[in-house]
């Protein structure tokens, strides 16, 4: 590993911009009925990209469970009380914890909220973690717009994995949109620049 360059390998990649037609049959019906759009996106992506070698999960979201939070505010303003079920489902890490409970998986995880840079900081947290096998998931639902992706990444190469370099640097050119990340990890772009780092695919 060169100075200021972190190497990682992508083994599985999945992205979604809609909850329509998702196969959520792996979740019990009673649980599905209580799920928010963010829950559905997150659990589907995690289920698609999770493998038994995963040691750590990083979840990031800018808006989190904003629909439930707004519902809580309305409930309190109108009734001066809040539903315990709605409150428990409003925390930022609810989706990923639901996935782990549903699949009966016991691995450590962290939840990242960094405003407009939540996607960037979530990816960076995954790459710099002390774990070799990491599952990173980013999901947001705001005003009906859905953006979500999940990356199964390792610090060591695996058969058919794609190699990437993350170079920590300050860039004046800002290319940190969700679409650019999707294009990078689906092979349509070879590199993207963000205010904090550059990520490039290494042709092997």
- pLDDT of res. 1: 46
How confident is the model over 136-193, as pLDDT tens digits? 999 888 777 788 999 999 998 888 899 999 998 877 766 568 899 999 999 999 999 9
pLDDT at residue 83, rounded to an integer: 64
Q: Looking at residue 134, what is its pLDDT? A: 97
Helix axes 118-128, 178-185, angle to 10 degrees: 40
**Closest to 53 measured CA to CA, from 107, 99, 6:** 107
pLDDT of amino acid 90: 55
**Per-residue pLDDT, 180:** 92
Can you give the pLDDT at residue 77?
58
- For domain 12-155, give the CATH superfamily: Thiolase/Chalcone synthase (3.40.47.10)
State the pLDDT at residue 64: 66
- Among 171, 78, 138, smallest CA distance to 191 is for 171
């Amino acid at each position: 590993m060169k100075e200021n360059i972190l190497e990682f390998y992508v083994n599985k990649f999945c992205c979604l911009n809609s909850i329509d037609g998702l196969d959520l049959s792996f979740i019990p019906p009673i649980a599905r009925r209580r799920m928010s759009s963010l829950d559905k996106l997150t659990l589907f992506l995690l289920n698609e990209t999770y493998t038994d070698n995963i040691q750590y999960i990083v979840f990031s979201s800018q808006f989190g469970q904003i629909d439930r939070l707004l519902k809580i505010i309305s409930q309190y303003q109108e009734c001066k009380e809040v539903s315990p079920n709605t409150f428990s489902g409003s925390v930022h890490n609810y989706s990923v914890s639901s996935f782990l409970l549903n699949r009966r998986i016991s691995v450590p995880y962290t939840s990242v909220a960094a405003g407009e840079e939540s996607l960037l900081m979530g990816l960076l947290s995954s790459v710099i973690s002390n774990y070799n096998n990491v599952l990173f998931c980013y999901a947001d639902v705001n005003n009906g717009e859905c953006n979500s992706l999940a990356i199964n990444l390792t610090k060591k190469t695996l058969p058919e994995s794609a190699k990437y370099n993350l170079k920590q640097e300050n860039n004046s050119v800002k290319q940190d949109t969700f679409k650019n990340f999707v294009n990078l990890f689906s092979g349509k772009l070879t590199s993207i620049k963000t205010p904090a780092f550059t990520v490039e695919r290494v042709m092997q």
